[in-house]
Amino acid sequence: MLAAQGRYEEALRVLAQAVSARPSEPAWHNEAGKILMKLRRLDQAAMAFRMAVSLAPGYFEAFYNLGTAYQEKGQMPEAVAAYRQAIVLRPDYAEAFNNLGNALLEMKEYAGAADALQRAIVLVPGFAPAHYNLGCVMYDSGQVDASVEQFQKSISIDPNLPEAWCSLGNALKDQGKYDESISAVEKAMALRPDYWQARWNLGHLLLLRGDFERGWPLYELRWQKENATKGVGLSQPLWDGSPLNGRRILLHFEQGFGDMIQFARYAPLLAAQGGRVIVAVMPPLRRLFQTLPGIEQVVSPGDPMPEIDVHYPAMSLPALLGISVESIPRNLPYLFADSKLAESWKSRLQTFSPKLNVGLVWAGNPGYFNDRNRSIPPAFFSSLAKCQQARYFSLQKGLVRAEEKTPPAGMEWVDWTDELHDFADTAALIANLELVITCDTAVAHLAGAMGRPVWTLLPFAPDWRWMLERSDSPWYPTMRLFRQPRPGDWSSVLREVASELDGLSSK
């Protein structure tokens, strides 16, 4: 009664008395665990459920609840074990199969997750959450079309599931159905007005379509996503956009290296407007960012905190400044190669016979959520082997598999990546290349920020910054975009690149 009224602390005190009177009664421990879950005391809840199953090893509900507690705590292997035990005790337990599928999805065990969710659906054909979760498994494992079917099935059963509408919108975006995608996300927002994920997704869709006026404010929801604040723990105030007039402003960066390079363009802009600009970046970018015009200092984690008057996250500047597609700062180049490093690479390249020197990158950070769509299997680059007047230089850093160290047959290949210790080294090599060809990675931004010719290879549903249906980029005037004509079709992209490269090298 007390728990049903939301009076959890009182209910817990009553249960504590019951447990004290009959400590060997498993039901009391199970009920106590359920209330502790409501109070978000997850460790204590798990302990209560463990006590319940130790007293009654056949108590399937307590095993299910224990799995839920572990799942909430992020302990997925333990959650899976508990759900499986609940299912052994009660094979028709559809909810346990559903939660088991979710836990396996978190562990990226897609086949097992799909099997568990399909069994839940067999047990309860109208189980809308199981269809939704199966859609998530399909989407995360790269089966976008199948995910759309499951999301739509979930919605047909229960049209009031905002998560299903939001995920459907995301999948429709990957199919290139942008109007339908926006409609689905807006439906999710109508069902749950405070649904930040749906609003965040809408922001990306608007930016992708070039609607910066409505997109930038929604892009600020990333702070809610990360449960963080723009203040990042600093006592100084956030800049309000007013004239800096000699004030010291700290620009701090977030997200990936490519994002940091893209938004570094605002540091010289603020310096030119009278700000004394200090830039905070991760160590791999430190030397490179020291070439930003007009800045006063570059700091990295662990450095003494400089004296500042105000601060601001660089990726929030477009929203603050009201940046449109037309007003994107194009003060390129704004990053430069170190002259001594560049001269050293130049001397080494002069030992080769004259050819078109081309840098290649085929893969991004595998930890990035959408890496499967943007990274390109190296075998596709075999199309470039026919360009005999081109010489290729690997710019691929990170974990490179042994088979990727061997270039496609017929390509003249140079791999000096062991000597590229940070982005300053990479910039110095790029300064001596006639062209960079890359998938959507930090190197694309680096070459663009340096004002070097760069061809960026994009998936069918690109990241928002590349927008739609254009072969140029408003961010980087020296960049050319090559887009997949259909999902997964890298062969067409590389054939087009090879044709263009062949024409370029023959000039």
Q: What is the pLDDT of residues 327-357, one digit of tens each?
A: 999 889 999 999 999 999 999 999 999 999 9
pLDDT at 287: 97
CB 446 within 8 A of CB 479: no
Alpha-carbon span 303 to 442, nearest angstrom: 24
In this structure, the strands spanning 248-252 and 310-313 are parallel
pLDDT at 8: 60
CB 185 within 8 A of CB 166: yes
Average pLDDT over residues 361-390: 86
Contacts 24+ apart (CB under 8 A), 91-100: 92/123, 93/60, 93/64, 94/120, 94/123, 94/124, 94/127, 94/130, 95/64, 95/120, 96/60, 96/64, 96/67, 97/123, 97/130, 98/127, 98/129, 98/130, 98/133, 99/64, 99/67, 99/68, 99/71, 100/67
- Here the tokens at position 331 are 């003060």
CB 168 within 8 A of CB 139: no
Give the class (CATH, top level) of 8-125.
mainly alpha
pLDDT at 71: 96
In the three-class reduction of DSSP (H, G, I as helix; E, B as strand; rest coil), residue 412 is classed as coil
Global pTM?
A: 0.89
Of the pLDDT bands very low, low, confident and very high (cuts 50, 70, 90), residue 411 is: confident
Alpha-carbon span 109 to 139, nearest angstrom: 13
CATH topology of domain 248-321: Rossmann fold (3.40.50)
Alpha-carbon span 398 to 413, nearest angstrom: 18
Which run of H or E residues covers position 313? Answer: strand 310-313
Residue-wise pLDDT tens digits, 448-490:
999 999 999 999 999 999 999 999 999 999 999 999 999 999 9
Q: In what order do the strands lie in the sheet with 413-414?
A: 413-414, 390-394, 356-361, 435-439, 454-458, 479-483
Of the pLDDT bands very low, low, confident and very high (cuts 50, 70, 90), residue 504 is: confident
Q: What percent of the chain has a predicted confidence (pLDDT) above 70?
A: 93
Alpha-carbon span 158 to 21, nearest angstrom: 44
Alpha-carbon span 429 to 361, nearest angstrom: 13
Residue-wise pLDDT tens digits, 10-33:
666 766 676 666 777 888 788 888
**Given a cut of 70, is residue 156 above it in pLDDT?**
yes
pLDDT at 119: 98
In the three-class reduction of DSSP (H, G, I as helix; E, B as strand; rest coil), residue 395 is classed as coil
Closest CA to 443 of 285, 327, 331: 285
Please report, for the chain, the start and end positions of each structural domain, with discontinuous segments joined by +: 8-125, 248-321, 339-505
pLDDT at 146: 98
pLDDT at 24: 79
Of the pLDDT bands very low, low, confident and very high (cuts 50, 70, 90), residue 308 is: very high
pLDDT at 188: 98
Closest CA to 485 of 473, 495, 476, 475: 495
**Given a cut of 80, is residue 1 above it in pLDDT?**
no
Exposure b/e, 364-394, CB count within 10 A at least 16 = b: bbeebeeeebbbbebebbbbbbebeebbbbb
Residue-wise pLDDT tens digits, 207-217:
999 999 999 99
Give the class (CATH, top level) of 339-505.
alpha beta
| Fold agreement between 8-125 and 248-321 | no
Amino acid at 9: E
Amino acid at 149: E
pLDDT at 290: 97
CB 249 within 8 A of CB 276: yes
